[in-house]
Structure 1
Amino acid sequence: MSEATEFWEGFYAEREVWSGKPNALLVREVAELRPGTALDLGCGEGADVVWLASQGWRVTGVDVSATALKRAAAHAAEAGVADRVEWQRHDLSVSFPDGEFDLVCASFLHSPVAGDHERNHILGLAAKAAVAPGGSLVIIGHAGEHPEHGPLPTTEEVLSGLALGPEWVIDTDEVVEHPESKAGTGLDNVLRLRRQGLRP
């Protein structure tokens, strides 16, 4: 069992974090996009996946914790969207889902057992490559100093790690005051990036 698997299995064994509410910042960024295929990285117990599926997206939810994915599947079934969702278990530093997606989202992909190098690798290589032409990459993270994770990367640092080419357009680059943020500052970073091209 990898360090990440052990940590997150222990995390979900000790608590349930399901609120039934999607991330409000994700809703803001995605609500006007045309539904297609979506990939949610670090989906946890599946609130964002369930919301996306309810909006017409066909969603692949990915997490390292089998416990979280089992709960997420139950929530999707309760919401009547199980037929629009696929669940996959990946330690994203080791493996990644196949295919391209119209939307790739990573919300609060912070981990005390993965450093900035691993996070940059996941976002800057695998996640970026998984966005289909015309699709969007949405990255939401806590800003400032986090009580568990320490100093967190700014949007400028995240963009630097992504090393975007000329085919990418930045649609959103904001630091937002978010009352539900678990960062000590109550601030969250929001990036929405669009890969130029035509969606089918």
Structure 2
Amino acid sequence: MPVDGRIARGNATRSLVLRRAVDDASVHGLAGLSIGGLAAELELSKSGLFALFGSKEDLQLATIETAQGIFRAHVGTPAQAVAAGLPRLRALCENWLTYSEKRIFPGGCFFFNVSAEFDARPGRVRDAIAAVGRAFLAELRESAAEAVAAGHLDADPELLAFELHALGRAANADAVLHGGAEPYRLARRAFAARLDQGQSTCGDR
């Protein structure tokens, strides 16, 4: 059944707007997003964008969802093609650093930036951001647990996931603030040292 031309054009416009929105929000924050501002940037009808998004909050929530899809495409999905356990955990860590280092979003990690912006602001936007953060931390924890179950590591999966998550966030923050690749180099060394330590402990048992 052929797709209605208006629906196809609306979907294309929505994708265009959200791609610009995630880039803008990674630098200037979600609070700075506006339907009027995006319409002006992209030379689109303001009324047409209101019809697509309805409100600023709806635009912010759609932007978070789009950013999550981009994040998963660069970090989580490729890691699922790697063997479960320690290899997948290493892949998640490396993919995460690469995603930040390559500036998939111009402001660095989208979710690091908007988390700092909304962490003390209750509401649907904060809840959506927090849900993404919890999901990725759970993915790290699950991979760590699989590595322990397979005998690859001797570690507390919850603590290990927390440590790896903290290292990745620190690398992104330092690189965005100070520039250069040194934070990523140090984070890669720290990831490797922490995971190698878990392997050594496992081997000593």
Q: Same fold (TM over 0.5)?
A: no
Q: TM-score range by the shorter chain?
A: under 0.3
What TM-score do you get using the length of structure 1 for normalisation? 0.27
Higher helix share: 2
Which structure: larger Rg?
2
Q: TM-score, normalised by structure 2?
A: 0.26
